[in-house]
Amino acid sequence: MDANITEITDQNFDTTVLQSSQPVLVDFWAPWCGPCKAIGPTIDTLAADYDGQMTFGKCNVDDNPGIPGKFGIRSVPTVLVFRDGQIFEQMTGLVNRGKLENAIKNAIAGGASSAPFVVQ
């Protein structure tokens, strides 16, 4: 895993994501998922570009079923951006860099979510 990416597990999710002092992007993925493999390098690049401004993590849904179940994730890849312990953005599927970067910039700047009606 990339040096700028934290492995997110069922055990470390609360401390790493919900209690983080900065926004956190979590990529929910699976090793058998083609689109997950395609979006991975983009997330790795964004993690390097925004190092120190935002935490980036990846959660293997096969190894950690608790967190995806808690957030109703039924499809991978799904990217959740958290700010202040709450879901700020949710994107499912092979999302382009521009959409990911807009969510990152909004979360860092304290802007409004483009998907404000996320239900937990």
Residue 56 falls within a domain, yes or no?
Answer: yes
For the domain that residue 73 is a member of, what is the CATH number? Answer: 3.40.30.10
Are β-strands 24-29 and 5-7 bridged in parallel, bridged antiparallel, or unpaired? unpaired
Report in angstroms the alpha-carbon separations of 119 from 22, 42, 66, 79, 105: 22, 27, 18, 15, 22
The domain containing residue 60 runs over which residues? 5-94
Arithmetic mean of pLDDT, 46-58: 96
**Cα Rg, the chain, nearest whole Å:** 13
Q: What is the pLDDT averaged over residues 51-59? A: 96
Q: Tell me which amino acid residue 83 is.
A: R
Write out the catalytic residue numbers: 33, 36
Does a structural domain hold residue 106?
no
Domains of the chain: total: 1
What angle (nearest 5°) sits at the alpha carbon of residue 71, between those of residues 69 and 75? 70
Q: Is the pLDDT of residue 101 over 60?
A: yes
pLDDT above 70 (res 117): no
